[in-house]
Structure 1
């Protein structure tokens, strides 16, 4: 009968334990990284939804101002809405309008229509939107919305 030398196989258990620990540490690091990127993505989605809601509020406010008569000519008029206290966004609203001939009315005179174009840019900047300086930084969110209406 042959005897095995216990000294030759004594280090194998330590190497196996170190290998298992390295694999488990790598797996834990990957899970942590995945969790962080998921959390960052969710935060960006929420900010994007807030920016879209702010841009929509800006276009509706602009249409209201244009159609009620505050921006009658609406020739490049611009206004910044500060919604930072409510949802952390600012909205820059611009309005322009053009007159178009739309056939004739019943008496034969030219009928004109005014077409309003309202642009709203919402962002999470501390200044007016769009903010080109912050656009290259992480965490900056910007949404644009444009509507047209006739009167």
Structure 2
């Protein structure tokens, strides 16, 4: 007496549907991870560009401040030779935050505190591609 295999029909259909659902969910998860990785890389790159734009601003600010003979009223926005064309879409503002005159061993020198703030030209905190960095440096024109 052989039973016919009729009552096991459809088992392969259930397992195939289960596999399709599981593989579809894994595929959707992988696409989500890929998108997150793309935006993370974009933000890291924009952050590095913002850092280097701000660093360029501090270097330019140092060169400008060291050319000032007497301390100006502070804070002072430094303007002039820093242009946005070479900064890859970043606006940089450079400020002379403080300047103090000192005398030591018969020598006069100044101590400058300079801040550079770089951000993308289209600010929008939380917007894709937006990045900003602020760097503050202290320098002096004292002879070594």
Give the TM-score band, short-chain normalised: 0.7 to 0.9
1:101 deviates by 3.7
Q: Which is worse superposed, 89-98 or 68-77?
A: 68-77
Distance in 1 (alpha carbons) for counterparts of 2:116 and 2:15:
62
Q: What's the C-alpha RMSD, in Å, of the aligned pairs?
A: 2.4
1:148 paired residue number: 138
- Unpaired runs of 5+ in structure 1? 106-110
Q: Verify the 8 A CA contact 2:53 2:87 in the aligned structure 1.
A: no
Q: Aligned equivalents of 1:136 and 1:57: distance in 2?
A: 24
Question: TM-score, structure 2 length as denominator?
Answer: 0.82
**2:99/2:110 contact within 8 Å kept:** yes
Structure 2 alignment gaps of length 5 or more: none
Q: Is the 8 A contact 2:95 2:114 kept in 1?
A: yes
**Cross-structure match for 2:44:** 45
- Taking the TM superposition and a 5 Å limit, the aligned residue runs for 1:1-151 are 1-6=1-6, 8-69=7-68, 72-73=71-72, 75-79=74-78, 81-83=82-84, 86-105=87-106, 111-126=107-122, 134-151=124-141
Alpha-carbon distance between aligned partners in 2 of 1:71 and 1:65, rounded to the nearest angstrom: 12
With over 3 angstroms needed to count, the CA separation of the structure-2 counterparts of 1:69 and 1:102, relative to structure 1, is closer
